[in-house]
Structure 1
Amino acid sequence: MPPLAVMFTFSVPPEKIDDAIAILAEISAAMTIEEPAALMHVSHQRADKPGSFAFYELYPDEAAFKVHGKGPIMTAVGSRLNALMEQPGKGFILNPVTGVGLPT
């Protein structure tokens, strides 16, 4: 199975930026412990637009991605993150084709 990636973008109001960053940090910390198959979870905030976030996740295969979606961290914090968003976020499932650090 090829690797699978996820890109997700969302925005929060200025007074919710610290809350969003804290939740994203919770997700990364939990994934490190609970999802050893996950290869990457990196969260970003746009430098030119505070409160506008994107995160990228990389999994070795679809099975590892499904574990994440049903895992305890997403059950615990997914709704909290959604509640901060100004509008529903936008997610994309990606199939990596080339890059540095991709599994072979």
Structure 2
Amino acid sequence: MAFVLVVRMTAREGEQDRAVELIGELSAASAAEPGNVHYLAHRDPDDPWVFLMYEQYRDKAAFEEHGQTEHFKTLGAGELFGLMENRERA
């Protein structure tokens, strides 16, 4: 069964541009993973600090593999998450 994750993130003041760069890089690399079905990034048109990520993986194992990739460790956990005021998983 597919595994879906939705994440809502709010960037810290002044970090929006760097967040956009990192999200673009992370999205491209993640979408190329063999277990990835969809990796979509959105920016709230009414609140430029808010980003929504929709991730769908083949199964939970593919999601767990995503968490072990170099691009996730470097771009996501390594830098992007530090630019965020908060992150909420749905």
4+ residue runs over 6 A deviation = none
* Correspondence 1:6-85 to 2 at 5 A: 6-33=5-32, 35-77=33-75, 78-85=77-84
Q: Secondary structure at the match of 2:14?
A: helix
State the identity as a percent: 28
Larger Rg: 1
Which segments of 5 or more consecutive residues in structure 2 lack a partner in the other structure? none
Shift of 1:3: 0.5
1:16 touches 1:84 (CA, 8 Å); kept in 2?
Answer: yes
TM-score (norm 1): 0.78
1:14 touches 1:50 (CA, 8 Å); kept in 2?
Answer: no
Which segments of 5 or more consecutive residues in structure 1 lack a partner in the other structure? 93-104
Relative to its length, the structure with more strand (as a share) is 2
RMSD: 1.3
> 1:22-76 deviations in whole A, cap 9, x for unaligned?
111111221244x122011101111111111110000111111111011111111
